[in-house]
Amino acid sequence: MELSRTIVFDLDGTLVDTAPDLINALNFVLDREGLPAVPMKSARNMIGAGARKLLERGLEVDGRHVDPGDLDRLTGIFIDYYAAHIADESRPFEGLEDALDKLSARGCRFAVCTNKLEWLSKLLLDKLNLSSRFSAICGADTFGVSKPDPAILQQTVLRAGGHLSSTIMVGDAGTDVGVARRANVPVVGVDFGYTEVPMADLKPDRLIGHMRDLPAAVDNLAAERQPQSNY
């Protein structure tokens, strides 16, 4: 019997264009510290490793380094502001919901595996009326590990009720390709997200430039990789 497919998505830069609200929160903190704002265009590629790393990268633009305790304080300010403005401008990428509808009709289940905190991920998806689409929403704090550690993907699939042998990862950055490779899961890369290294250079198994192309990419990969027998 064929196992139902589990499609695991990264969040920021893959499911949702969160850059405007994340960068606004970063610039709120920088302004409090008397530092200049980071331009939206250049800051997009700082996203993807969590709030603390985003702050570190933002501070480094002005050549400022802070001790761990001060970074903890600034991260707290960032998270409080971001949570209050989490969906002011963030929106699902064009074509997402139609792609999910088509894949769901084919029996796929969905999960989110992100380096964002779990409660912030759930808050964002709640605000966008997307939470009910996913069997599991897991963040960097859910299992105590972050991408590209394969444990976060393995545990996310387990929590969603899926099987690694019938899982496909979808993401926009090196951490997504890395976690998929380490978990022996095929990966679809999107080229509209946040990454310093172009997704094409990261060599995902399939590369798409719009969410409308996701169902075909998933079907193509699934046809290549039949689930392993449990016997």
CATH code, domain with 143: 3.40.50.1000
Does residue 227 surpass a pLDDT of 50?
A: no
Q: Kindly state whether residue 178 falls inside one of the protein's structural domains.
A: yes
- Of 67, 84, 101, the residue at which a domain comes to its end is 84
For residue 59, what are its two tokens?
Answer: 């501070």
- pTM for the whole structure: 0.91
- pLDDT confidence bin for 231, thresholds 50/70/90: very low
- Of 84, 99, 125, the residue at which a domain comes to its end is 84
Catalytic residues: 10
Asked if residue 185 and residue 146 are part of one domain, the reply reads: yes
> Domain residues for 138?
6-17+91-224
Asked if residue 146 and residue 76 are part of one domain, the reply reads: no
Q: Kindly state whether residue 231 falls inside one of the protein's structural domains.
A: no
Max intra-chain CA distance, the chain: 63
Asked if residue 205 and residue 112 are part of one domain, the reply reads: yes
Among the listed residues 130, 149, 73, the one whose alpha carbon sits nearest the alpha carbon of residue 139: 149
What is the predicted pLDDT for the residue at 101? 98
Count how many domains the chain has.
2
Does residue 55 surpass a pLDDT of 70?
A: yes
Asked if residue 95 and residue 12 are part of one domain, the reply reads: yes
H and E: helices and strands count for the chain: 10, 8
For residue 215, what are its two tokens?
Answer: 């169902």
Asked if residue 108 and residue 28 are part of one domain, the reply reads: no
- pLDDT confidence bin for 226, thresholds 50/70/90: low
Summarised one tens digit per residue, pLDDT across range 127-140 is 999 999 999 999 99
Asked if residue 170 and residue 145 are part of one domain, the reply reads: yes
Q: Kindly state whether residue 31 falls inside one of the protein's structural domains.
A: yes
Q: Work out the average pLDDT over 42-48.
A: 80
- Of 64, 84, 104, the residue at which a domain comes to its end is 84
Asked if residue 137 and residue 219 are part of one domain, the reply reads: yes
The amino acid at 216: A
Asked if residue 138 and residue 104 are part of one domain, the reply reads: yes
Q: Residues of the chain with pLDDT > 70: what percent?
A: 94
